[in-house]
């Protein structure tokens, strides 16, 4: 089955638990609670390959990411994964239920990295159990955008492995593209936090005015293309210096 529309948080949690129960290579853990007491989940998709971090739902009014995450967990459960994926499928469950960008304190969680004042970001960072993620992929949406898909990239740039462009190209095979790859500094955001820790950090941004089934498809295409490239380029097992050779570059779009 394909999850093609937003479901409420209770149904979403039940589906996560059900999937985790079905697949041996998927572990699910509650790592904390939101302001209003909703569970914050971490799914671990086990693989022998390089470690990658994937997040969705930092902004509650951007439901395509959490739905894409659910689809991805089901696929990876069925097909297995080479990469070792740590996934936080819904970082902001209160915002998701209220259909608002911020958490229940009215705080934009994607400006709380490095500060960690909110229970949701604290739950995430407090449950990070390895230091060597080669990439951090964060699924967002641009709620008012009418144009097309784009990505933000904050990264120790490696010109030979262009993750953001690869994601854009994969989405562009079926959907409209707007700005393509945008490089932008944003203090306190998840992407810059991980980029400063030598992870290749990309944010996916489907246009929020499109049908949700298409936005979920965009997230999944971007995710697949990114993970495939990461798997391919770390197949020799030497991922400890994967991005360390690049300089951290931030430029205006
Ligand atoms: Zn967002």
∠ CA 233-238-241 to the nearest 5 degrees?
A: 90
Residues contacting residue 221 through CB under 8 Å, at least 6 positions apart: 167, 170, 171, 173, 174, 175
Q: Report the pLDDT value the prediction gives residue 250, as an integer from 0 to 100.
A: 43
Dist CA 229 CA 196 (whole Å): 21
Give the list of residues 6+ apart from residue 233 with CB closer than 8 angstroms, or none.
161, 242
- Backbone region of residue 116 per phi and psi (left: phi > 0; alpha: psi in -120 to 50; beta: other values): left
What is the predicted pLDDT for the residue at 236?
83
Distance 56 CA to ligand 1 centre (A): 9
- 9-249 CATH: 3.40.630.10
17 CA distance to ligand 1 centroid (A)? 25
CA of residue 140 to ligand 1 center, whole Å: 4
Distance 109 CA to ligand 1 centre (A): 9
What is the per-residue pLDDT for 162?
A: 86
C-alpha span between 183 and 202 (Å, rounded): 9
CA of residue 192 relative to chain centroid, distance = 13
The predicted structure's pLDDT at residue 230: 93
Distance of alpha carbon 245 from alpha carbon 126, whole angstroms: 28
Distance 62 CA to ligand 1 centre (A): 6
How much distance in Å is there from the Cα of 108 to the middle of ligand 1?
A: 9
Pick from 106, 78, 73: which is nearest to 92 by CA? Answer: 106
pTM for the structure as a whole: 0.94
The answer to whether the CB of 183 falls within 8 A of the CB of 152 is yes
- How far apart CA 4 and CA 6 sit, in angstroms, is 7
Ligand 1 centroid–CA 235 distance in Å is 31
Confidence at residue 249, expressed as pLDDT on a 0 to 100 scale:
45
**Run of H or E including 246:** none
CA distance 239 to 193: 20
Ligand 1 centroid to Cα of residue 24, in Å, is: 31
Dump pLDDT digits (tens) for 180-224. Answer: 999 877 889 999 898 888 888 999 999 999 999 999 999 999 999
**CA 67 to CA 69: how far, in whole Å?**
5
Report residues of the chain scoring pLDDT below 50.
245-246, 248-253
| Rounded distance between C-alpha atoms, residue 123 and residue 116, angstroms | 9
pLDDT at residue 20, as a whole number: 97
Looking at residue 158, its pLDDT comes to 64
Q: Which residues are paired to 142 by β-bridges? A: 207
């Amino acid at each position: 089955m394909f999850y093609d529309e937003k479901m409420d948080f209770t149904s979403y949690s039940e589906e996560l638990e059900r999937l985790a129960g079905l697949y041996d290579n998927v572990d699910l853990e509650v790592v904390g609670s939101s302001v209003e007491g909703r569970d914050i989940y971490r799914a671990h998709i086990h693989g022998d390959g390089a470690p990658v971090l994937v997040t969705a739902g930092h902004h509650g009014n951007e439901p395509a990411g959490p739905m894409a995450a659910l689809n991805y967990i089901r696929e990876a459960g069925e097909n297995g994964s080479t990469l070792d994926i740590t996934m936080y499928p819904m970082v902001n469950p209160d915002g998701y239920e209220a259909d608002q960008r911020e958490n229940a304190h009215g705080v934009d969680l994607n400006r709380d990295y490095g500060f960690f004042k909110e229970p949701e970001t604290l739950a995430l960072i407090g449950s990070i159990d390895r230091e060597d993620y080669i990439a951090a992929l964060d699924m967002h949406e641009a709620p008012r955008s009418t144009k097309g898909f784009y990505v933000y990239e904050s990264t120790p740039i490696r010109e030979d492995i262009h993750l953001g462009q690869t994601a854009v190209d994969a989405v562009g095979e079926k959907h409209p593209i707007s700005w393509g790859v945008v490089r932008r500094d944003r203090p306190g955001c998840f992407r810059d936090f991980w980029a400063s820790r030598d992870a290749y950090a990309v944010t996916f941004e489907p246009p929020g005015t499109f049908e949700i089934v298409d936005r979920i498809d965009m997230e999944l295409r971007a995710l697949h293309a990114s993970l495939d490239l990461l798997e391919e380029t770390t197949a020799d097992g030497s991922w400890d210096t994967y991005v360390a050779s690049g300089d951290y570059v931030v430029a205006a779009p």
